[in-house]
Amino acid sequence: MPLFPPLNPPVSGWSGQRVWILGASSGIGAETARLLGQRGARLALSARREAALADLRSGLPPAARQAAHVLPCDIADPAAVAAAARTLFEAWDGLDLVLVAAGVYDALRPQDLDAQTLPRVRHTLDTNLLGAYHVLAAVLPEFLRRGAGRLAFVSSVAGYNGLPRALAYAPSKAALNNLCEGLHLELRPLGIGVTRICPGFVATPMTAGLDVPMPALQTPAAAARAIVRGLEGGDFEIHFPRRFTYGLKVLQWLPRRLYFRLLRWAAPR
């Protein structure tokens, strides 16, 4: 018996598991879909770009491809998310895992903040934070009725501390990290698992345009393996690569005077 039991029920196998991935058109979401498809999961794929989802489905193993649902929707649109969820509950009579991998990054700095850039802030919050609430509103009533289900949210290590060039992105992820903790405390006794996923730098379309150092850069395939391994183990928090993320966790405990000094030294001007 382990000294510390898992905080969520472990996943013993993926065959037949009903998995809805939002943000499946590229990056971490797409690679996780491919990996779970190889392991026998039944997949529902959602994102804004229907053509990219169709391409993803066409590359799945035959059994997974035949069973997969393509449900285009924008996570920032609560009505579209609710409609997709209804379609899945009707088709599958339930869901076992909802993985929210949709997200956007906008390199906002103090000089950028004015009345004209507020729509950019809203777009980040609508996608990265309110999108999670849209999913919760669509699936939680059914999960609570059944007393089962698993929710997983791709957040970021950017949510651990305040960061430069991330005045909308980092707060959105900090709030998402906090939300996951509150959800876990309330839902785990009711039979519903909650996992937050905090990657470091991953080579995705979102990071392709960054002009900052990206230490310990991971491939999306490596990220997907870490996520699936963590879900199988019943982890509450999945963070990777650990040689990078443990250092960021240590920074959380530093006095802000020392933290700010380190960031000013390390952050690009």
Tell me the pLDDT of the chain averaged across its residues: 93
Query: What average pLDDT does range 150-173 have in this prediction?
Result: 94
Query: What average pLDDT does range 138-155 have in this prediction?
Result: 97
**Strand ranges (DSSP E) for 80-128?**
97-100
Indicate the pLDDT class of residue 269, thresholds 50, 70 and 90: low
Query: Does 13 reside within a domain?
Result: no
What is the strand order of the sheet 192-199 is part of? 69-70, 42-46, 18-22, 97-100, 149-154, 192-199, 237-240
Greatest mean pLDDT range, 110-114, 170-174, 255-259: 170-174
Query: Does 23 reside within a domain?
Result: yes
pLDDT over 70 percentage in the chain: 96
pLDDT greater than 70 at residue 267: no
**What is residue 219's predicted lDDT score, i.e. its pLDDT?**
93
Query: Does 136 reside within a domain?
Result: yes
- Identify whether 241 is preceded by a cis peptide bond (ω within 30 of 0): yes
Query: Does 8 reside within a domain?
Result: no
Give the span between the Cα atoms of 131 and 22, in whole angstroms: 10
Q: Which residues are catalytic?
A: 169
pLDDT greater than 70 at residue 75: yes
Query: Does 117 reside within a domain?
Result: yes
Query: What average pLDDT does range 105-124 have in this prediction?
Result: 93
* C-beta of residue 29 within 8 angstroms of C-beta of residue 108: no
**Could you list the residue range(s) of the whole structural domain that residue 183 is in?**
18-266
Match 């609570």 to its residue by tokens. Answer: 144
Residue 192: count of CB within 10 angstroms of its CB: 22
**What is residue 144's predicted lDDT score, i.e. its pLDDT?**
98
**What is residue 10's predicted lDDT score, i.e. its pLDDT?**
94
Query: Does 5 reside within a domain?
Result: no
Residue 1: count of CB within 10 angstroms of its CB: 3
Reported as a single tens digit per residue, the pLDDT across 208-256 is: 666 676 777 889 999 999 999 999 999 999 999 998 899 889 998 999 9
pLDDT greater than 80 at residue 172: yes
Number of structural domains the chain divides into:
1
pLDDT greater than 70 at residue 268: no
CATH number, residue 232: 3.40.50.720
Query: Does 12 reside within a domain?
Result: no
Indicate the pLDDT class of residue 1, thresholds 50, 70 and 90: low
Query: Does 189 reside within a domain?
Result: yes
